[in-house]
Structure formats: structure tokens, C-alpha cells
Structure 1
């Protein structure tokens, strides 16, 4: 028998009980920061979404993350903030969130979840480098689709609800069915609070960003400097690009929100994020009222006047990636960390009371 084991067995019963309780007590988590990818290492090289949080918040303590793409999580014991990198795509996201919530090391019933990742942006809505809090997530990956060469002449595009046979199917099918979940609305009070807390933050504006948006003549929102905004995100695994696809995205968001939503950003993982959390909330393991989603614009989702969709794809590849990549990674941390720090540092206020935006002045 090892000396350490023997000493433990010889310790008084109350001391052994206290040690056992300490060993099995959940790791306290106030906020979970969710990112989708990392490039290379978590520190010291080309940053992905995760690295900026690891280095700047910081998240120095490494924890194993079994059953996830990245394999490790990062933790700040002082702020009690846990950070994960899910892997790209809704499947990786749903798997990572489910593995995290079911991990016996954590009790996440009071934890806030903040997804902070990069995205494409509609030039009719905003500019590259901007940060957008999402009131809603729309599923852009679940649909019936007709080849573009066979779309009926009176259809705006080739997409219909899985539960219907026309793009304008009426009434709008139920959002949840055996086919899946089409739209999620986040807690409006919490989203409004996060937006109010960060809306005045000055975001990085570079010479490169100015040159990118100067190409979008006639798109007033695209030509504005980066800012913090409110707008819905469309989530789908296919990386689409082009003016016609952008028109579809705008229509799809309007359709599934009965005209209430405004398409702003496009990303992959958000529907997997919301699906996983919704199911875990049904089991009482998380609180859906404590979920936030922030997307920062690394690129426009359609080309500027005079350029084709194929031209845009080629130019992004030849220029080494998304045109606003680094500023968008910076903005995700700059904006998201204000909310994360506020929640963590004032836990006595937010542990039992979810913040919400103050009523607008009459």
C-alpha cells in the first residue's frame, strides 16, 4: 500500500470526507466562452478564434476535453470562465456542447454561454470588422432545393421549406417538426443588455478594411466603419457566396421569422449550438435564458459591383484568407470580453438574476 494512500486511510473520518468532497465538487463556471476553431497552437502563433481569449482574458489553465474536436479546454479560476473550441461546423459544435454539458466536472445550470466567432456579413446590413449580437438564429441548412437550372420562373430562388413545396409556403410550417428546428430566439432582454453594454465600443479600423469597403459603392452600410450592431444570423454548413444567394438568405430569414428578423451574418455552427443547448435545457442542465451569440464580420458574403461570386472566392483565396480576418478575431474578443468580464466580476448580481436591457426612454 502506498504511503499516501495509507496516510489518507489513517486520517480522521471528517478530514477524509472533506477531502473526498473537495475532489468531487464541480469546477465552478460562471461563463462558458465558445469559439469554433484554432490554427496551430493555442498560444504564440497565428491566432484563431480561441487563441485571443486564451492569451488575453487569459485562460491559462488547461483541462482535458474528452469527446471534442480540440481535446482541451481552458479555464480562468479567478474569473471562473471556461473556454472551448468546438471545431468547425454544426456537428462539431453540437458534439462539443453536449460533451461539455454532460461532463461531471461541471454544473452549468447557472452558467452563461457566449459564442464568439467570425462570420460573413451582408453588405446591405453592415461592414467588415463589425460585431453583431444575434437576437435570432435561423437554420439555413435544412430545406428542399432545386437545381438553379430548373427553378420555376415565378420562384425567387430554388429553396422551399422541407414541410412545403413552394418558397412562399403558407401558412409557415411549424418551426419544430420531425424534420428539425428552423429558428431560435435568444432571450431579448439579455441580448439587449449585451448590446447596450458594448454598442459604443470603438472597433479596429485598418487601411485594408477601408480599401475593402470602398469597393462596395452603393452599399451604404458596407461603407461605414466597423461598429457593434444587432442582427440575425443564418446558420448552414454550406459556404455560399454571391448576390443571388444573399437575396435568398434575406428572404429565408424574413420567411422563418414572419418578417420580424433581419439577416445580418452567415456562419456554420450556430444552429448546432442552439440545438444542443435547447435539448440540454429540456433536461434542466443549462438555462437557455443565459445564452448569447456574437458574430464578427471577417468578409462580405457577396462581391462588390463589377465582380462575380467566383471572382470573390478567387480573390479571398489569393489574398490569403478572409479579407477582414484579423480585425474580426480582435473584435470578437474586444466586444465579447466586456460582457464576459461584467458577468464574472459581478457574479453576486448575475448568478440568480439574468441581466436585461433597461426600458427605452419614452
Structure 2
């Protein structure tokens, strides 16, 4: 373990040129050897044997001995994820100007898209800055009570300020590097993913959705991030509409989570500061649960249901798919250092 580095030592040290940053959001216990969370399989399988103190975050940084691959735990939710990424991005011990950042986290999946254990490469990250009224008071012809600031009704930008890009006062849509995302998808689309009897039995409750009947797969699908842990059919339709609306019909809601828009916003700012390259941000989310209740249950009855296999298929998919891209970049650094894959 490295000793705690004072600010003076940090500035005196030649920064480590990091090739890949693995971004996870939580760990269930120890980093190795027990019930895994998002970090553990990376720590064990990528041989991240070095622990580096991280004063800007609650969890230390893990690194390979060469300091070319590092992994962080941001903490869950937007309010934790953004500051953690900014803290790393401004840490003088690391040169992140050419680094690829890979968010590898679990998520809730729309059962209209794919079954549990699937993995989605995002082309867009969508935030949930919105206006909302009590659902018991919404007009009868409204599908739900959430709508864009200034708009007249849900699922419409009529009357709203349409400037919602990454540098807008209310950043809602973050277009990622779609070419990079598609390259990652093409490189991993044939990867076999964990498929267990418990997953199949669990998914039977969503058998009215054709997409839940097949095997887990790698797809291209977009990320909707909110500090609200939501669940249910009405809010799921809101997420579908919201992603479609703010991507001009190009995005497809696939994965719900609580971190990605804050991570993307931080990367935009680090890019402006010449500390990181936003074009090298990749977001991979894997399905641990569904965003709507199973047939015959209300949302409040299923929101706290345990993940099948304790979430292991989703954790495994994040490493299994993400590590292919990580190794491709790491092992071909002479090419990828100055040339972003397309």
C-alpha cells in the first residue's frame, strides 16, 4: 500500500499515465473474497493489487502495479458520483488526458428491451431535471405528472427551453461518442453472458414482454440517471418518453441508474479543464433487475425484491464485457493513445 501522499508530494511526483479508468459505484463488503459488488470482480480478475489512498473519496483507488489501469468506487447516486469523478480528475498523481473511462455498473432494465444479465453500451446519457406535480392532482389526460421545465404537459417540449445539452444551464442530454460506443458493441456483441435457472425463473414474471424470454445479450441502449430510485409502469413510460424526447427520437431507454449523468457532467467539465477527454467516456450498464413489477404485482410490492443470484450475473456481465474493451485498449496502446476507436 502506498503511504498517504501530502499535497507537496503529490505535486512533486511525475503523474502516472493511466490508460483505462474503471468507474464503479459501490462495493458490498471487502474488495476481494466475499459477496461481490461492482468493484470486486475487477479487483480480483484484473489483478488490481495496489491500494492508493484517495483523500477526495471514501474508498481508495485500486491499481495494477504499472498504474496504467485504475478502478474507483464513486458512491451511489448523483450527489456522490459527480464529486468523486471530479476529485479523481483533478488529482495530480494521475495523468488522465489520454485515459479511457469505463463506467461498469448494474442497473434496472426496461423489460421491453432485453432480459436480466444483459449489457448495454450507451450512446446517450439522460438526466432528470424536471418539474413535477403530485400524481394525485395531474389532469386526467396526462400520463404522469413529470414534465420539462416550462413545457405545457408531459412528453412534450412545447413551451420549454430546448437548450438542454451538456453546457446548458440545465444539462439533461449528454451525447456520448456514438462511434466509440458502437465500436465497443461490435467488439463484444457475441460475448456469452451468464444465464442461470434462477434468472429464468425470476424473469417468468415478465413473460408478457417477448424480450425477457431470450438469453442475456449485449446491446446498444441508453442510460437514464436519476437520484430518485423509481419503479413502476407509469414512471417507466416516463423514462421511455424522456429519453426519446431529449434525443430527438434517436435514443432508446434501456437502463435506469443513479450516477451516469453526474459522471458525464463531471467529464464535460474535466474536458474543459484539459484534465480528461469526454470523447473517451464509455458507459456500460448491466441488468440486475427490471424497472416495472411482474404481472400480478403492484410496484410497491416488487420494488424491494432481491436480485436473482444476488446480482452476480449483472456483476459478471459488467466485467466480462467491459474487460474485453479494457484489454483491447491496454494491449494496443500505441494505436489507441492518440486514436479513439471508431
Q: Which TM bucket (shorter chain)?
A: over 0.9
1:214, distance to aligned residue in structure 2 (A): 1.8
2:30 is the counterpart of 1:41:
yes
Q: Distance in 2 between matches of 1:171 and 1:106?
A: 45
Partner of 1:346: 332
Based on CA coordinates, which of the two structures has the bigger radius of gyration?
1
Instruction: Pick the aligned partner of 2:41 from 48, 52, 62.
Output: 52
1:282, distance to aligned residue in structure 2 (A): 1.0
Q: Distance in 2 between matches of 1:184 and 1:253?
A: 11
1:179, distance to aligned residue in structure 2 (A): 4.5
Q: Distance in 2 between matches of 1:214 and 1:40?
A: 31
Per-residue CA shift, 1:147-173, capped at 9, x if unaligned?
111111122211111243422132652
2:139 is the counterpart of 1:152:
yes
Partner of 2:5: none
Q: Distance in 2 between matches of 1:349 and 1:331?
A: 26
Q: Distance in 2 between matches of 1:77 and 1:197?
A: 27
Q: Distance in 1 between matches of 2:62 and 2:90?
A: 17
**Is the 2:151–2:159 Cα contact (8 Å) retained in structure 1?**
no
Partner of 1:5: none
Q: Secondary structure at the match of 1:234?
A: strand
Aligned-residue CA RMSD (Å): 1.8
Q: Distance in 2 between matches of 1:214 and 1:125?
A: 15
Q: Distance in 2 between matches of 1:296 and 1:303?
A: 18
2:121 is the counterpart of 1:133:
yes
Partner of 1:337: 323
**What TM-score do you get using the length of structure 2 for normalisation?**
0.93
Unaligned runs of 5+ in 2: 1-8
**Is the 1:79–1:344 Cα contact (8 Å) retained in structure 2?**
no
Q: 1:272-291 alignment to 2 at 5 Å?
A: 272-291=262-281
Q: Distance in 2 between matches of 1:232 and 1:265?
A: 6
Q: Distance in 2 between matches of 1:298 and 1:130?
A: 8
Structure 1 residues 179 and 28, CA gap change in structure 2 (3 angstroms): closer
Q: Distance in 1 between matches of 2:159 and 2:135?
A: 25
Partner of 1:322: 307
**What TM-score do you get using the length of structure 1 for normalisation?**
0.88
1:216, distance to aligned residue in structure 2 (A): 1.5
Partner of 2:196: 206
**Is the 1:162–1:179 Cα contact (8 Å) retained in structure 2?**
no
Unaligned runs of 5+ in 1: 1-19, 357-362
1:259, distance to aligned residue in structure 2 (A): 1.2
**Is the 1:117–1:295 Cα contact (8 Å) retained in structure 2?**
yes
Per-residue CA shift, 1:317-341, capped at 9, x if unaligned?
xxxx323611101110000010001
Q: Distance in 1 between matches of 2:96 and 2:192?
A: 32
Q: Tell me how many residue pairs correspond in the alignment.
A: 330
Q: Distance in 2 between matches of 1:165 and 1:103?
A: 44
Q: Distance in 2 between matches of 1:304 and 1:32?
A: 36
**Is the 1:121–1:264 Cα contact (8 Å) retained in structure 2?**
yes
Q: 1:91-240 alignment to 2 at 5 Å?
A: 91-140=79-128, 142-167=129-154, 168-170=156-158, 173-176=162-165, 179-240=169-230
Per-residue CA shift, 1:5-61, capped at 9, x if unaligned?
xxxxxxxxxxxxxxx9x9621112000000000112111111110111011112111
